[in-house]
Structure 1
Amino acid sequence: KNRLLGKGIKQYVISSFLGSTPGCLGAFMSVSMYVHGMISFGALTGCMIATSGDEAFVMIALFPETALPLFLILFLLGIVSGFLTDRVISFLRIRVCEECRLQEYHEEKLEKVMSGKPVFSPSRLIMLLIFLSLITLNSLGLLGPKEMGAERILFISLSTFLAIMSIFSTDHYLEEHITEHILKKHLWKVFLWTLGALVFVSIAITTLDLENVIKSNLNIVLVLSALVGIIPESGPHMVFTVMYHQGLIPFSILLTSSVVQDGHGMLPLLSYTIRDSILIKIINVIVGLAVGFILYSLGL
């Protein structure tokens, strides 16, 4: 059975792009395509390298001038790593996705995300009003950055994109993935983890001399960021996001954490094939530590 996205570079680009989008939905889509034989193991690995889960939203809010280049680096790393991963596992004759052959792909069953004839339900109208209000307030300088710059443009662009999604997404996608999944399940978790990380770092700085401890052991912290990244859940990695924002760790550690961790994008794959999930995590750790230590040695 031929993969839907073919064997060329296209599958790595698409999967890594999905991974580099904020949140976990892009990773979920890639997992679904993988188990249906539509993309390769390497393409899925590239997606998991490119994704940084719900932490991406916090990065955009705290340091957008760094977040965008970081996402671009993750996107490119995903493409290269995905391509190389497929070559390596082929050379080593490692069998992956044994369960995929049991899956049958039917194009008509692919979930539609956008609809040309949306039905304006109360939840759709509320979301649209929220994002239009954010666009207006940001444009007038009443919310967010006071001057027109990269940060304000980013916030307006994201709000515009979400407003378009609110209008044209299908009823199922809006209710199931945006309302139920993002707003009800994850928004409050992101808030609590961010608040907890901020409080923890602030207390640790004043009572435990955290700044000197971290800056004296940056190489250990880099390894620790990779180990914490193995946890298949958004939240614990927020500590490194906050520490970078506070100036406690360099970009290399933030990048290592972002490469290894994938929020909870791995959870659907774990329920399907533990073997492939572990293999992807091993590759993520290797790539994250390699890239992280290279940048760290360069003083970044």
Structure 2
Amino acid sequence: MIRLWILAVFSDALNITGQQAVDILIFSLRDGFVQVSAFVAITVLIFSYIQYVTGGRIVSYLESNERMQPLAGALLGLTPGCGGAIIAMPLYIRGTISFGTVVATLAATAGDSAFVILALAPEAALYAYGLAFISAVLFGYAIDIWGLGVGRVDEAVARVSQPMTDGGFTTTNVADGGPSIPEYQRTNSHCDSNGHRQGHGTGSRTGLHGRIDDAVETVSPAMRRFSHGVHVLWWAVAVAGLVAGVLYLARGAPEVPLEFRPTFFGLFTVAGLVGTSASFYLHFVGRRFIGEGDAGRVRDDFASTYETFQHAAMETSMVTVWVIGAYLIYEYGIVIFNVEIAAVAAAAGVLAPFGGALLGLIPGCAPQIVFAGIYAEGGIPFSALTANAISQDGDALFPLMAIDMKAAIVATIYTTIPALIVGVALYYVWPFASFGFGVL
């Protein structure tokens, strides 16, 4: 109650009513899990289970076939939803794939808006995502061939400005095979037999984190049993959320009221709120009792089926936290500033693909889902939809942001470049890049 009161006080200063502020909070907590997390969960689980039954041969294949990496990354990104692209981000963190592969994956990512377009405008989806895939592969290979990774960006910045610190983030070029991570994490990382980093090290168990870990080790076993119970509940709710999400898309992505009865709306509401609550618990509390599941990293192998499920749950819970944050920023921004960014893309002329590409800079799937709905209603041209399909990174950017913010910023800027080129080219040279193309 105190938090809601504080929210109401701030809302008065921000030109938004207290009820609007509360509604946005509740609906974002609900919608984020059903519209995004449930789909992410099943995709991450499928990939993790394949890793489990194959003994990690997929990751080994990518490590030993560098020339195939941008193509493989684009294929992962092309899968509807964000799960395939989310899988690729930890591979970059551990040094398995190149930065060009990361960009190819993000450029090809269709996100959860793909489900809307596939359901309401399948022909448009075929062309838009086909162009996104081709652009992603070409641009990904170009980055690797010309060495345009984070290291090259650092060099360019160094030429025009003096360094702000004497240390900071040490980066390596793509040719050197490494992401941008702090030097202390680089030296504390552990490697496998092939010399690949297995994620960031944590260093010695000293200070506050060490004391917390020591306290966790002596905690009552009841908390571990409770956390494992929440994990099992999380998967039950994730399945319910997936059912609700599929039904939601099959109905044309309608407005869903807040309801707690045994109906579709009730299933949507309960699954969303309970799923988000369980995700927040697992990410902030439960991981200290049952293990983090190596969230934000790719495992070579898993000891059991249960561990595979746990890894997928922890990975998705981390994404859920970021997704809810993106939902809240987007929704509050629309109300407070009374500006609909997607409306820019509806402007006449060449501004349409520019608007679609700029909208894609916003991480997460919430604005992209809205954008896809506007296209299905005939509100924006096909050139803008294609530009947005290439530019958007969906929820796949969140794991990268959580571990390597610099690489995430560079990557999302890079995906905007082919989006603008293809979008503007479609506007000028393709007669079908108009309003309503491919809409059922």
What's the TM-score once normalised by structure 2's chain length? 0.46
Structure 1 pair 73/168, CA: closer, same or farther in 2 (3 Å)? Answer: farther
Q: Report Cα offsets for 1:159-204 as digits up to 9, x if no partner.
A: xxxxxxxx999432564467x57999979x99xx9xxx9xxxxxx9
Match of 2:373 in 1: 242
How far did residue 278 of structure 1 move?
Answer: 2.0
How far did residue 29 of structure 1 move?
Answer: 1.2
How far did residue 93 of structure 1 move?
Answer: 6.8
Q: Report Cα offsets for 1:46-92 as digits up to 9, x if no partner.
A: 00000022212222222223223433332222211110111223599
Match of 2:141 in 1: 83
Task: Give the one of 233, 238, 253 matched to 2:384.
Answer: 253
The answer on whether the counterparts of 1:55 and 1:241 sit within 8 Å (CA) in structure 2 is yes
Question: After superposition, where does 1:40-79 map in structure 2 within 5 Å?
Answer: 40-79=98-137
Amino acid at match of 1:52: A
Say yes or no: does 1:171 pair with 2:309: yes
Structure 1 pair 40/248, CA: closer, same or farther in 2 (3 Å)? Answer: same
Q: Distance in 2 between matches of 1:169 and 1:91?
A: 34
The answer on whether the counterparts of 1:3 and 1:38 sit within 8 Å (CA) in structure 2 is no
Match of 1:231 in 2: 362
Amino acid at match of 1:270: M
Structure 1 pair 92/109, CA: closer, same or farther in 2 (3 Å)? Answer: closer
Q: Distance in 1 between matches of 2:367 and 2:237?
A: 31
Partner SS state of residue 266, structure 1: helix
Match of 2:346 in 1: 214
Structure 1 pair 17/91, CA: closer, same or farther in 2 (3 Å)? Answer: closer
Question: After superposition, where does 1:92-103 map in structure 2 within 5 Å?
Answer: 94=152, 95=173, 97-99=178-180, 102=186, 103=189
Q: Distance in 1 between matches of 2:373 and 2:109?
A: 18
The answer on whether the counterparts of 1:37 and 1:105 sit within 8 Å (CA) in structure 2 is no
Q: Distance in 1 between matches of 2:416 and 2:75?
A: 20
The answer on whether the counterparts of 1:218 and 1:249 sit within 8 Å (CA) in structure 2 is no
Q: Report Cα offsets for 1:232-266 as digits up to 9, x if no partner.
A: 12111233212221122222110101111111211
Q: Distance in 2 between matches of 1:61 and 1:109?
A: 41
Amino acid at match of 2:391: V
Partner SS state of residue 239, structure 1: helix
Amino acid at match of 1:38: T
The answer on whether the counterparts of 1:234 and 1:263 sit within 8 Å (CA) in structure 2 is yes
Match of 2:23 in 1: none
Partner SS state of residue 9, structure 1: helix
The answer on whether the counterparts of 2:62 and 2:68 sit within 8 Å (CA) in structure 1 is no
Structure 1 pair 3/274, CA: closer, same or farther in 2 (3 Å)? Answer: farther
Structure 1 pair 105/249, CA: closer, same or farther in 2 (3 Å)? Answer: farther
Q: Distance in 2 between matches of 1:3 and 1:90?
A: 24
Task: Give the one of 76, 91, 94 matched to 1:18.
Answer: 76
Structure 1 pair 241/72, CA: closer, same or farther in 2 (3 Å)? Answer: same
Partner SS state of residue 38, structure 1: coil
Say yes or no: does 1:264 pair with 2:395: yes
Task: Give the one of 283, 287, 293 matched to 2:414.
Answer: 283
The answer on whether the counterparts of 2:76 and 2:105 sit within 8 Å (CA) in structure 1 is yes
What's the TM-score once normalised by structure 1's chain length? 0.64
Unaligned runs of 5+ in 1: 111-120, 138-142, 145-166, 198-203, 205-209
How far did residue 30 of structure 1 move?
Answer: 0.8
Amino acid at match of 1:214: A
The answer on whether the counterparts of 1:13 and 1:79 sit within 8 Å (CA) in structure 2 is yes
Structure 1 pair 40/225, CA: closer, same or farther in 2 (3 Å)? Answer: same
How far did residue 294 of structure 1 move?
Answer: 0.7
Q: Report Cα offsets for 1:142-161 as digits up to 9, x if no partner.
A: x88xxxxxxxxxxxxxxxxx
The number of aligned residues is 249
Match of 2:87 in 1: 29
Amino acid at match of 1:265: A
Partner SS state of residue 5, structure 1: helix
The answer on whether the counterparts of 2:393 and 2:412 sit within 8 Å (CA) in structure 1 is no
Unaligned runs of 5+ in 2: 1-59, 153-172, 199-231, 252-304, 335-339, 434-440
Structure 1 pair 174/84, CA: closer, same or farther in 2 (3 Å)? Answer: closer
Structure 1 pair 45/129, CA: closer, same or farther in 2 (3 Å)? Answer: closer
